[in-house]
């Protein structure tokens, strides 16, 4: 289209229609909000307003992740979300696999495990723990930089034979920067060359003071290979989780975070979402990053189709308009028009950031109207 109404343009720009009318008036074009303007004029306006598109995105049109405190009586305990970090080959994957084996529900599901980047185990006492498949330090930092603090607890895996290595130290620094409590899992204690005490000592150099050394950081000796120390590790996670008093309101529209996303050959765009609060349901309309959609199916980490997913539950979603990015926030919104509006608007903002010049987003504003 070559023309756009002032109101439409205002919507796309996330500006007040009246502000656009005022600006147009100053430019010598007295028009009303429902009148159309040509592309050149629109472009001028965008340039005029370009500088503050981003600022407005954080208030008016864009959806804010709701930081308002939930009413106390709405909050219910939720499972902890645990990320396993550590140096390559120190046993992160092995430990995740071993911990997965503690899931009492797993057997019922036929043991077919879906690789969805995150999983939840149900323990004998019916309590649950969510584990994020180690996202790599970059992803962890990136997610945090984007405000996605998805992890409650970090389990730092250190191989008892190898000791502290560069990525161990990196993980310590990331965890500290994130202000997330850490539990040290000293792995591979089945090896003759294992020296767990040396690990505890070396940790002191990085201001990680475990209980045996007079500090308050929990540590546990494990062997992912021999499945030793797993119960002790789980106990420590539960203890830490209790201290954190993790709670969320399950009775509200869902908010979540993308853990990973991809284009699946058969199923189209799919994303693994960690629900932060509320309950995500089949049929929900949502915005996620610059994408939108309607939940066509929810698939849990055991490959089962489920109807809904509550706080701290990782779930794969189908029904996306495109592939979002890891760390993108997901919000359920009232209707599809609203979802598209926000997603398109965000796509424009993202494009703005990429091209530095505001007018570039005009293309997307117009194409969004087609």
Nearer residue to ligand GDP within complex by CB, 17 or 117: 117
By CB under 5 A, residue 54 contacts Mg ion: no
Beta bridge partners of 297: 318
Q: Which residue has the tokens 């117009």?
A: 366
According to the annotation, is 327 in a ligand binding site? Answer: no
Query: How big is the site for Mg ion, counted in residues (CB under 5 A)?
Result: 2
Q: Which residue has the tokens 């494990």?
A: 222
Whole-Å CA distances, 155 to 101, 120, 222: 17, 15, 12
231 binds, among ligand GDP, Mg ion, none (CB under 5 to 8 A by kind): none
The minimum distance between CB 102 and ligand GDP, in angstroms, equals 15
According to the annotation, is 370 in a ligand binding site? Answer: no
Nearer residue to ligand GDP within complex by CB, 194 or 362: 194
According to the annotation, is 89 in a ligand binding site? Answer: yes
According to the annotation, is 187 in a ligand binding site? Answer: yes
The minimum distance between CB 287 and Mg ion, in angstroms, equals 33
Nearer residue to ligand GDP within complex by CB, 16 or 226: 226
- Write out the residues near ligand GDP by the rule CB under 6 A: 86, 88-94, 187-188, 190-191, 223-225
Nearer residue to ligand GDP within complex by CB, 191 or 306: 191
Q: How far does CA 296 lie from the centroid of its chain?
A: 20
The minimum distance between CB 226 and ligand GDP, in angstroms, equals 6
Nearer residue to ligand GDP within complex by CB, 144 or 188: 188
According to the annotation, is 135 in a ligand binding site? Answer: yes
Beta bridge partners of 330: 256, 288
Stretch touching Mg ion by CB under 5 A, among 26-34, 89-97, 155-163, 312-320: 89-97
The minimum distance between CB 168 and ligand GDP, in angstroms, equals 11
By CB under 5 A, residue 93 contacts Mg ion: yes
The minimum distance between CB 92 and Mg ion, in angstroms, equals 5
Binding residues for GTP: 86-93, 133-137, 187-190
């Amino acid at each position: 289209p070559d023309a756009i109404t002032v109101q439409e343009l205002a919507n796309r720009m996330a500006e007040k229609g009246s502000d656009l009318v005022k600006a147009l008036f100053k430019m010598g074009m007295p028009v009303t909000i429902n009148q159309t303007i040509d592309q050149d004029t629109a472009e001028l306006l965008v340039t005029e307003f370009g500088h503050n598109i981003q600022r407005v995105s954080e208030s008016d049109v864009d959806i804010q992740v709701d930081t308002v405190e939930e009413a106390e009586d709405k909050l219910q305990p939720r499972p902890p979300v645990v990320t396993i970090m550590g140096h390559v080959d120190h046993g992160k994957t092995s430990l995740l696999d071993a911990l997965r084996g503690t899931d009492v529900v797993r057997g019922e599901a036929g043991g077919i495990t879906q690789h969805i980047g995150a999983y939840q185990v149900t323990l004998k006492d019916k309590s649950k723990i969510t584990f994020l498949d180690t996202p790599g330090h970059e992803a962890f930092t990136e997610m945090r930089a984007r405000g996605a603090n998805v992890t409650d607890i970090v389990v730092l895996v250190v191989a008892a034979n190898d000791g502290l290595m560069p990525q161990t130290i990196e993980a310590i620094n990331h965890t500290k920067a994130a202000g997330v409590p850490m539990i040290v899992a000293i792995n591979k204690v089945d090896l003759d060359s294992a020296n767990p005490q040396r690990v505890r000592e070396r940790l002191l150099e990085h201001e990680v003071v475990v209980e045996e050394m007079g500090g308050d950081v929990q540590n546990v000796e494990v062997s992912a290979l021999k499945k030793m120390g797993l119960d002790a590790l789980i106990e420590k996670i539960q203890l830490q989780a209790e201290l954190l008093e993790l709670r969320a309101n399950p009775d509200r529209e869902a908010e979540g975070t993308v853990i990973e996303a991809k284009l699946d050959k058969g199923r189209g765009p799919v994303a693994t979402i960690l629900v932060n609060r509320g309950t995500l349901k089949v049929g929900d309309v949502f915005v996620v990053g610059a994408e939108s959609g309607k939940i066509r199916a929810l698939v849990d980490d055991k490959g089962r189709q489920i109807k809904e997913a509550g706080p701290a539950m990782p779930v794969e979603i189908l029904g996306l308009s495109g592939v979002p990015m890891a760390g993108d926030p997901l919000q359920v919104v009232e209707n599809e028009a609203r979802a598209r509006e926000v997603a398109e608007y965000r796509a424009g903002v993202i494009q703005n950031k990429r091209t530095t010049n505001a007018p570039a987003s005009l293309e997307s504003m117009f194409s969004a109207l087609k």
